[in-house]
Amino acid sequence: MAKETDANKDIENLPGVGEKTLDKFLEAGYDNLMAIAAASAGELVAATGIGVDTANKIIAAARQKLKMGFETAKDVLIKRENLGKITTCSKELNKLLGGGIETQAITEMYGAYGSGKSQLAHQLSVSVQLPKEQGGLEGKAIFIDTEQTFRPERIKQMAEGLGLDADKILENIFVARAYNSDHQVLLLEKAEEVIKKENVKLIVVDSLTSAFRSDYTGRGMLADRQQKLNRHMHKLQKLADVYNLAIYVTNQVMSRPDVLFGDPTAPIGGHIVGHQATYRIYLRKSKEDKRIAKLIDSPNLPEGETVFRVLLEGVRDVEEGSKK
């Protein structure tokens, strides 16, 4: 029998949920009304074995309790005041992003190798742990590594660059290596278990499309790849919404030889990734340790461009010199 909590009582009061059904829900990870309300009937049926009609009734009741219908734009604005922002440790890059990496959103950084995508992934994994007054969320991070780019040594350098205890910072980052797209999808399911036990405020996927690109080759498999990638991104967004955390994903680029003028590179994933990502930023390498970030798409911010540096101690503004 499940331990009685306020959240459990809320679930048990839903029509069609008894003691045994409650245990099934909790065992499957549906331990709050939002998790149930955001699920589909098919997901509940597969996870708990209840009937489709019962699942639909339970989901409808959970949504009604949470008042998930229409609300005024003013109410939405008030809710958005509760969103968190994670500093990139560059004031100019933060400004471009409207204050930093936002919770309840997917931020995609794409660019060629060496453009700073993974460096930012490491930096955010550190800065999310900062106090709120310093631009952090006092939370932990999950890092899904698909290209073997995660380096604990880099985390240590960045932590020391902010005057933090490197050992404590490393203990608060949960890392998993994804070997193919199926493993990547599975790790995201496992990530939810960690989120429920730990104060996770950031999920990093570096990179989002690498495994999908490798597993699904040729035009004949493009539709299957895009459908699977679409489901994966919707799962990421769901986690961001339900647990109020930030999603940071990196993306590869491909060369477009048909483009004669301008930049001949384009991000992988097509419209699926483009539409699902809340913020899209194009990174490219400049001289020495400088990187250029261009905001390509955002629901509320103007397009813009800025320059930042990747130093030994982490991501910094251009005017900040390396500590030597």
Q: What are the tens digits of pLDDT across the range 1-17?
A: 445 566 677 888 898 88
- Pairing label, strands 106-111, 304-311: unpaired
d(CA 69, CA 240): 19
Same CATH topology for 6-65 and 79-317: the answer is no
* DSSP-H helix ranges across 174-244: 181-197, 210-215, 222-243
Q: Where are the domains of the chain?
A: 6-65, 79-317
Residue range 260-282, pLDDT digits in tens: 455 556 777 777 787 889 999 99
d(CA 211, CA 205): 11
CATH of 79-317, one of 3.40.640.10, 3.40.50.300, 2.60.40.420, 3.30.70.270: 3.40.50.300
CATH of 6-65, one of 3.40.120.10, 1.10.150.20, 1.10.1420.10, 1.10.760.10: 1.10.150.20
What's the confidence (pLDDT) of residue 115?
Answer: 94
What's the confidence (pLDDT) of residue 1?
Answer: 46
Q: Strand locations in the chain, DSSP E?
A: 85-86, 101-102, 106-111, 140-145, 173-177, 200-206, 246-251, 253-255, 265-267, 279-285, 290-297, 304-311, 314-317
Question: What average pLDDT does the structure give for the chain?
Answer: 89
Do 265 and 255 touch, CB atoms closer than 8 A? yes
Q: Strands across the sheet with 200-206, in order?
A: 173-177, 140-145, 200-206, 246-251, 106-111, 279-285, 290-297, 304-311, 314-317
Q: The pTM is what?
A: 0.83
Do 191 and 239 touch, CB atoms closer than 8 A? yes
What's the confidence (pLDDT) of residue 96?
Answer: 98
pLDDT-derived band of residue 221, with 50, 70 and 90 as boundaries?
confident
pLDDT-derived band of residue 141, with 50, 70 and 90 as boundaries?
very high
